[in-house]
């Protein structure tokens, strides 16, 4: 089923020069970039984005990190895009991420794991509305 996901190259990925590599992997997989935007995320948007983690001990560190430099925000479309992108990203803790995944190839620290991708249709819709308000549904 064709669906859309929200993907973000985090500040560590942008700083490491991995934006092109990540976009290339997404496109070569057969998924389509339908919107793309580079920006430093406002603190209020970052807190909303990570709302589900508000009570976690790492929440402040997470918001601090995600607003620490430019990120690249992407709306990505394709067959089964949400789950396909999660598989391409690898496990949240890069130490557990399989080689060949983005986190498994380029990251080591759970707090700085290069990439975000929506984990379900509901979060994809919420995140796309938050970051790409003018994108047609």
Return the residue of 58, 64, 98, 120 that touches ligand IDP, per CB under 6 A.
Answer: 58
Please state, as a whole number, how many other Cβ atoms lie within 10 Å of the Cβ of residue 121.
Answer: 14
26: left (phi over 0), alpha (psi -120 to 50) or beta: alpha
**Radius of gyration of the chain from its Cα atoms, rounded to whole angstroms:** 14
> Residue 23 in 3-state DSSP?
helix
When CB distances are held under 5 to 8 angstroms depending on the partner's kind, the choice from Mg ion, ligand IDP, none that residue 71 binds is none
Among 23, 119, 121, 126, binds ligand IDP (CB under 6 A): 119
**Two tokens at 115?**
């990439």
Q: Verify binding: residue 101, ligand IDP, rule CB under 6 A.
A: no
Binding region for ligand IDP (CB under 6 A) out of 12-20, 69-77, 111-119, 129-137: 111-119
By rule CB under 5 A, what string of x and - marks binding of each residue 115-134 to Mg ion? Answer: ----x---------------
Whole-angstrom CA distances from 112 to 11, 13, 66 are 8, 8, 9
**Which DSSP state fits 136?**
-
Q: Which is nearer to Mg ion, 29 or 126 (CB)?
A: 126
Does 84 engage in binding with ligand IDP (CB under 6 A)? no
What is the contact surface with ligand IDP in residues (CB under 6 A)?
53, 58, 62, 92, 110-111, 113, 116, 119
């Amino acid at each position: 089923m064709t669906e859309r996901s929200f993907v973000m190259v985090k500040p560590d990925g942008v700083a490491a020069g991995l934006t092109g590599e990540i976009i290339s992997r997404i496109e070569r997989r057969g998924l389509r970039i339908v919107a793309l935007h580079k920006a430093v995320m406002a603190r209020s948007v970052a807190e909303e984005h990570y709302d589900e983690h508000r009570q976690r001990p790492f929440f402040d560190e997470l918001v601090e990190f995600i607003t620490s430099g430019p990120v690249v925000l992407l709306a990505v479309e394709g067959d089964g895009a949400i789950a396909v992108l999660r598989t391409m990203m690898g496990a949240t803790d890069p130490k557990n991420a399989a080689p060949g995944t983005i986190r498994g190839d380029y990251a080591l620290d759970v707090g700085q794991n290069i990439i975000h991708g929506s984990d379900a249709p509901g979060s994809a819709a919420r995140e796309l509305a938050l970051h790409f308000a003018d994108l047609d549904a």
